[in-house]
């Protein structure tokens, strides 16, 4: 039997949308309540969720990931203190040599309380964009280990997901399963 060596990762992104002009749901999500609790709290003000897969691993992030695994230098982690999920309006095709979001308009949000999380080989990051945040076209997505994309971006996904408007709360989740 031939053994094939391969490490890969599968990504799943998810956006949950709420009508939330007073940021009540946004505040609760930021404090770490579950999406199930938030949808029950929102009732008819929950617009639904959309899951989508795939992305391109960016060289800058993958190199830092190797440094973390090997204990080389002291790279910044994608942890609760440092990680941000970013959304932007760039539509350029994703390429491993890119160093972040490509659009002119970008919004980065810190992790909700309790994130990132790990279950078996899956890591999950989650951030909530309240009524006044991220109100632009959501065309590209990343997780970065800094307040903006000047840090190391682990990945980039390009896919049109609509335009977030004032008065809405959108929660973005990223799950990466390593295998």
Instruction: Quick: pLDDT tens for 122-163.
Output: 999 999 999 999 999 999 999 999 999 899 999 999 999 999
Please state the separation of Cα 163 from the chain's center in Å.
16
Tokens 């199930």 belong to residue: 36
- What mean pLDDT value characterizes the chain? 96
How many angstroms separate the Cα of 114 from the Cα of each of 44, 80, 118, 121, 131?
27, 7, 10, 18, 22
């Amino acid at each position: 039997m031939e053994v094939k060596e391969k490490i890969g990762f599968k990504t799943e992104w998810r956006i949950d949308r709420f009508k939330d002009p007073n940021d009540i749901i946004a505040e609760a999500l930021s404090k770490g309540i579950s999406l199930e609790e938030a949808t029950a709290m929102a009732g008819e003000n929950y617009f639904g969720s959309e899951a989508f897969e795939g992305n391109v691993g960016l060289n800058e992030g993958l190199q830092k990931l190797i440094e973390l695994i090997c204990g080389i230098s002291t790279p910044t982690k994608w942890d609760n203190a440092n990680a941000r999920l970013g959304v932007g309006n760039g539509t350029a095709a994703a390429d491993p040599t890119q160093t972040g979001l490509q659009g002119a308009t970008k919004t980065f949000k810190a992790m909700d309380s309790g994130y990132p999380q790990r279950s078996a080989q899956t890591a999950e990051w989650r951030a909530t964009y309240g009524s006044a945040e991220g109100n632009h076209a959501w065309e590209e997505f990343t997780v970065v280990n800094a307040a903006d994309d000047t840090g190391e971006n682990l990945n980039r996904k390009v896919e049109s997901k609509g335009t977030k408007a004032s008065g809405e709360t959108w929660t973005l989740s990223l799950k990466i399963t390593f295998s």
